[in-house]
Each structure stands twice: as structure tokens, then as C-alpha cells.
Structure 1
Amino acid sequence: MKLWRPGITGKLFLAIFSTCLLVLAIMHWGVRLSFEHGFIDYIKRGNEQRLEMLSDALGEQYEQHGNWQFLRNNDRFMFKLLRSFEHGDMENNNMPPHGWRTQFWVVDQDYKVLVGPRSPVPTDGMRRAIKANGRDAGWVVASPVERLTRNTDINFDRQQRRTSWIIVGLATLLAAAATFLLARGLLAPVKRLVEGTHKLAAGDFSTRVDSTSQDELGKLAQDFNQLASTLEKNHNMRRAYMADISHELRTPLAILRGELEAIQDGVRKFTPESVASLQMEVATLTKLVDDLHQLSMSDEGALAYQKQSLDIINLLEIVAGAFRERFNSRGLSISLELPDHATIFGDSDRLMQLFNNLLENSLRYTDAGGQLVISAEVVNQRFVMHFADSAPGVSDEQLTMLFERFYRAEGSRNRASGGSGLGLSICQNIVAAHNGKLSAAHSPFGGVSITVELPLEPESLRLV
């Protein structure tokens, strides 16, 4: 048989309810103990006062009569004497007029009972000597306080016990109801988080949980929603990423297959021109695979960086010189507006790859007759470079998407003008590895301006 195991709601309910029961039990025990001791002490003090009053009054009567004959078989005398005590107590407000709570006896000097019940005189009861003419003429003896004999007192004690248990029962029910509502209310956000986690684990990345409170659970719900949003975004990006990769690979492969089938069928002759066409598509595939490999390695932080002090101005001039002839063949111009010297701490190979990608991007997406202006300045110990080209430009919405993978501003998948769509993403990772910042804006020449910010080498490192 499977044992019942309470969930977190049941555990919290049992914990709070058990604590309430323990508090109730301690309070009940304490109240009962206090009442019983207080009640007995109250009766004991009252009996002591009455014993004293009765012994004094009987001593005076004994001195007047000289013996105990006036008291033998004279219950009426004792009744009047006790009544006078009670009236005196009421007038003096010393104690309430309830008379004796316990049985009492009046005995003579020979310990013979003069007044009292027929039961034996208790040896452990309270006693008070009756003084007459300087000697003990007898004693007034009362039964122990614990032996209550009056029905009203016994009923009062029973009523207090019964009332106490009723209060405990009602308090227990109230504690159970309050604990249940409290546990349910406190754990409602936890249950929503559990349900949301189950949906998230099942692949439903659109799930969200309500976050209405500002406590730790509310912050946890906000973090959960942020996590779900990130997972949903990454899931969509992964699907789009796989679709883009398959598309990018399919295009050159389809061209290669068509070219090879045409040569095989004799439709196209195997000439140097056809070989050059095939080599171009192979180069495109190689570039795409290399870019994917570079991007995956940079995402994982696996790219090796061998940083050292280097003159970034000299590096920019080398890259611009290597591209100048290609720009001229497309009717484009490159102009440099650089300071004389700037030293940074970085990897020359990776920075060369960064500049190559940026210039390749401008070469592919700038109309003939345009220009690329590379300018730089030092701002707050940072080397800021601007790669601004001419038309065509992009919209504000397209600016925010330039660094997304496989995105092309012209919106087509024709490879005639575009590359793999991964160059700027690789650039972003390289700049981040150098503690820099990469951003895009509208160019003053009508195209796009890519800004690269890199920290200058600290003076302390230059002196080493």
C-alpha cells in the first residue's frame, strides 16, 4: 500500500497547525494550573480568616461561660455566630459572603468533637487554637482545601474545565481554518510557478505566470517570465538560424549540382570558364562554412586571442591598402581620417578579421560611385572608429537588425550582392572580446555608419 506523502501545501499546513496546537496546549495547561492554584489559594485564605475569627469568638464565649456546655448540641448558636461573621465580612468587604468552602470541627481540650460532621477529624487539616484565660481550651479544625465539599465550588471548577476545553476546541478549529487559508494563499504563487515550470520543461516557451506581489515570490515570478521570454526568443532564433543555414547551403549546392549535371549531360562543355564558375561556388561554400565555424567558436569563447600592444592606426592603414584596388574596380573610393598614433591591447589577427569584415560589408552593399570614409578619434581613453559609407541607406528598423545572423538589409536572398550574413555577428563577438562596443547608425553620406569603440592601452602597461 502506497503511503500518503503530503505536498508542500500539506507540509506547510501541518507545520503551522502543529505550532498552533502546541501553543494552545501550553496556554491551556498554564491557564488551568494558574486557575486551580489561584482558586485553592483563595479558598485557603478565606478559611484561615474564618478559623481565626471563629477561634477568637469561641474563646470569648468560653471565658464567659467557663465551659463548653453552651456549645454542646447547640447548632443554632453556631449558625448565628457564622451568620454574624458573614454579615461583618459583607460590611467590611474583606471577602465574599459564601461561608465555609470546606468542612470544619470544633473540639475541646480533650479533642472531643463539640460541633462538626460525624466523619473523623482530619489530622492534616488546618487548625486554630481557642485561647481562654491564657490556655488552650480547644481547637477549630478545617478539612484540607483540596477536599471541596460545597456543590457550588465543585460545579464552578467543573464549569471552568468544560469552558476551557470548549475554548481550546474552538481555537483549534479557528487555527485549522486560518492555517489552511494561509498555507493556500502563501503557496498559490509557488503552485503557479510549478505549473509554469512543467509547461516550460515540456517545450511551451510561451507560458508566463502572474506576478502581482513585490516580495521574493513576486521577484521569482518576474525572473521566471524573463527566463521563459529568453528561452522563447532563443528557440525562435534557433529555428530561424537552422532555416537560414539550410537555405544558405542549399543555394550554392544547387548551382554546383546544376553545373555538374549540365557538364555530365553535355549541355555545357568542360571549359576553364565552367571550372571557374564551379570554383566560385565552392569558395562561397567554404566562406560560409568558415564563417559558421568562426561564429560558433566566438559564441562559445573558444577563439584564441593573443593580445599584445599594437598600433591600431598602422593596422587600419594596412587593411585599407589591401582593399583599395578592389574598391577602385567597383568605382568606390576609400578615404582615411586618422590620428597619428593610438595604441591598444589586442589581438592583431582578430582585429584584422574585424576590419576585413567591415570593409567587405561596405564593398558589397555600396552603390558604384560611392565612398567609404574611415575616421577615428580618442574619447575618454577609448579609441572610437567610424566606418561610414554612401548610399544605399537603411531604415531605423533595419539598423536594429544589422547584427542579427543571416540578415541582409536589402531583404533578398540573392547572393549576387550579399555575403553569408554572418560577418557583422562575428565582428560583434570580436569587439566584445576586446571589451569594446559595436553599434550602427545612419551615415552622413547616405549609407550606414558602423562605430567601433575599443579601450586604449593603459599607461601602466606601456611602461612595462
Structure 2
Amino acid sequence: MFSSLKVELSVIITIATAIAFGMSWTLLTFGWNGWIAMPLTLVVALGITYFFSRGLIAPLRQMRDAANAMADGDYTVRVHLATDSSDEIGRLARAFNDMAEELQHADQLRLDMIANVSHELRTPVSALQAMVENMADGVTEPSPANLESILDQTHRLSDLIAYLLDLSRMEAGAASLNVEEFNFHDFLDETIKPLEIADAGHAHDIIMNVDDEVFMEGDQDRLRQLFTNIIANALKHSPDGTTVLVEAHEDDDHGMVVTNVVNFGTQIPLAERTDIFRRFVKGKPGPGTESGGTGLGLSIARWAAQLHGGTVRVVDDDRGVDFEVRLPKYHIADDVTSARKPR
């Protein structure tokens, strides 16, 4: 009813005082002894104050009980307000409920991550165990093809472990940047070459359209994570024998270097373009494309871009799926996270 706890307490005290004064005057008028009337009046005043104040502090008792329940791992508890209170206790109760909801969401994310990581680890480990057991039992021969299958599964495990290490850095916020100036064309060329070698069996053609004179500042290792994940994602979702285009230009008006990685596969629906950057969310494979993956690559790519003050998003493009990476041309130094190398 009132917007301030101080006003509510003042009203309660005023009412209790008025009732006590009236009661005392009435008792004295009827001839009661003052030594009896005054203590009785004081007890009544305290009782009235206690009765009305219980309603004010009820949310505090609920918060105490809810905090104890949350300490035991129950994040579903909430503080229920009898009315739409707008005083300090009411605002505190709503803030407490918001905090409980965030903790419940974070706990659910943790449980989902454990389940997803367990699944991702179990798949290659089970495949490795089956293949090695079959070779040990003499059921299959250690042929080059079988050994290559084992190698593929170990690579998958290695990639997953690397992704999880990056994920732990994301969660901890422990990501120092080693900033230096470099030629962006040469950087992309060095990033693409290992991807072309790894993609040899799929006959993808990676076309790079980048000006030789584009320079920028940043941490090349982190940015290599970014572009490796984006380009590898484009290759994975492109049918064999198709083209992936990597083009970049300078946006002088905003001081940005803009890179577009385009694959000519199935378009991503507008409603899913944000979700694909969430952890463990895997895009649907199109016709003739690969499935699988960890669901962490795009999340880590966005993290690496944000470390540099940039963005990664999917933009409309009639040619196909277009991942646009916007990065500041000049890095804004941060004494905590960045260390600039001399040019």
C-alpha cells in the first residue's frame, strides 16, 4: 500500500500510540489506578505493533526459508507476496525471486552441459573401445582403413577436449589477449591451409577474396580459433565438391574489418540464427553434408570475437548461409586482459 517501509512503520507506530493514548485516557477516566492502566496500555500497544509488523516481515521469513532450501540444492523455491508490495521488502523479495530464477537456469545449464559432455565423450570412446576390442580378439584386422577410423575418433576426442578447455576459459573469464598488428590476408591464408588439407576427401573449393593491404590488431591465436571454427562449420555444412567463399573488406566509417564466410548450402531459418551460437546446439545437416560435431565451435567463435569487441552473426544473403564477422581494426587496450606487442 505504501512505497516505503519507513512510512509503513511510522503509520503502525502512530496508530499504536493513538490507541494506547485513548485506552489510557479511558481507563483513567473510569478510575483505574495509573500503575495498572499504564502497563496494560503498554502491553496492548506492543501487541498491536507486533500484530501489524508480522505482515511486513513475512517475506523476510520466506526468504530465510528459501535461502536454506537453495543451500540444499532446491532452486525452485520462490517468495510469494500477498499483495503487490512496492516497499523495500517487496522490491527485495522480487530481486530474490529473480536471483533464484537465474540460479535455477544456471543449474539447469550445468546439468545439460554434463549430460551433453557425457554423451559427446561416450560416443567416440565407445567406438574406440569396440574397434580396439575387435582387433584384440582377432575379429578385425589392423588394416589402414581401421586404423584411420581409430585415428578419426581420437581426433574427435582431442577436439572435444580442446573445446572444453576453451569453454572453461569462457566461464572463468580468464582470457588474456596478446595483441599485435598483422596482415589480415596472410593470417586468413595461414588459417585456411590446414583446413584445406583436412578437407581433402570432400573436394571443397575455398575461395579467398581479401585485399593484400588489410592490416588489423588482435590476438592471432584467438582469432584463428574464431575463423577456424566458422570456416570448418561452413565446410561441414556444404555438400562435397561445392565452394566456400571467404571475403573481407574494411569498413572505414566504423573502423571495422568485416569478413563474410559464405557456403552455398541450405539457408538457416531466421528463428534459429541466434540459437546456433548457444553451447551444444548443433545445426541440422543439409542434403549431402556431414552431421555430428560438438556444438561448441560457434559458441567459442562468438566468445573470441567478443574478446576483441567484435561480433559474429548470420546475415541475409541470396547466395547461401553467410556468417559475418565484424572486428575492430584497432584493438582498444585493456590493462587486465591485453598485452600489446611493439610494432
**TM-score, normalised with respect to structure 2:** 0.76
Letter in 2 for 1:454: L
Letter in 2 for 1:191: R
- Other structure's SS at 1:308 match: strand
Separation of aligned partners in 2, 1:371 and 1:454 = 24
After superposition, where does 1:59-98 map in structure 2 within 5 Å? none
- Other structure's SS at 2:291 match: coil
Shift of residue 241, structure 1, vs aligned partner: 1.2
Q: How has the CA–CA distance of structure 1 residues 370 and 167 changed in structure 2, closer, same or farther, with 3 Å as cutoff?
A: farther
Shift of residue 302, structure 1, vs aligned partner: 3.2
Pick the aligned partner of 1:202 from 58, 69, 72: 72
Q: How has the CA–CA distance of structure 1 residues 218 and 311 changed in structure 2, closer, same or farther, with 3 Å as cutoff?
A: farther
Deviations 1:152-173 (A, max 9, x none): xxxxxx9698597898578546
Check whether the contact 1:436–1:453 (CA below 8 A) recurs between aligned residues.
yes
Percent sequence identity is 27
Tell me the residue number matched to 1:225.
97
Q: Tell me how large the CA RMSD over aligned residues is.
A: 3.9
Tell me the residue number matched to 2:155.
283
After superposition, where does 1:444-455 map in structure 2 within 5 Å? 444-447=318-321, 449-455=322-328
Shift of residue 347, structure 1, vs aligned partner: 0.8
Q: How has the CA–CA distance of structure 1 residues 206 and 393 changed in structure 2, closer, same or farther, with 3 Å as cutoff?
A: farther
Moved more, 320-329 or 310-319: 320-329
Tell me the residue number matched to 1:259.
131
Separation of aligned partners in 2, 1:406 and 1:159 = 80
Tell me the residue number matched to 1:293.
165
After superposition, where does 1:12-411 map in structure 2 within 5 Å? 172=42, 175-210=45-80, 212-324=84-196, 330-338=202-210, 341-376=213-248, 377-378=250-251, 379-410=253-284
Q: How has the CA–CA distance of structure 1 residues 325 and 159 changed in structure 2, closer, same or farther, with 3 Å as cutoff?
A: closer
Moved more, 351-360 or 260-269: 260-269
Q: How has the CA–CA distance of structure 1 residues 215 and 169 changed in structure 2, closer, same or farther, with 3 Å as cutoff?
A: same
**TM-score, normalised with respect to structure 1:** 0.58
Number of aligned positions between the proteins: 317
Pair 1:457-2:330 in alignment: yes
Q: How has the CA–CA distance of structure 1 residues 159 and 176 changed in structure 2, closer, same or farther, with 3 Å as cutoff?
A: closer
Shift of residue 364, structure 1, vs aligned partner: 0.9
Letter in 2 for 1:361: N
Gaps of 5+ in 2: 1-8, 334-339
Tell me the residue number matched to 1:71.
none
Shift of residue 260, structure 1, vs aligned partner: 1.7
Separation of aligned partners in 2, 1:360 and 1:398 = 19
Separation of aligned partners in 2, 1:417 and 1:324 = 19
- Other structure's SS at 1:355 match: helix
Letter in 1 for 2:311: K
Gaps of 5+ in 1: 1-12, 32-157
If asked which structure has higher relative contact order (CA below 8 Å, sep 6+), I would say 2
Separation of aligned partners in 2, 1:411 and 1:368 = 13
Separation of aligned partners in 1, 2:256 and 2:174 = 26
- Other structure's SS at 2:275 match: coil
Structure showing greater Rg: 1
Shift of residue 362, structure 1, vs aligned partner: 0.9
Separation of aligned partners in 1, 2:55 and 2:38 = 25
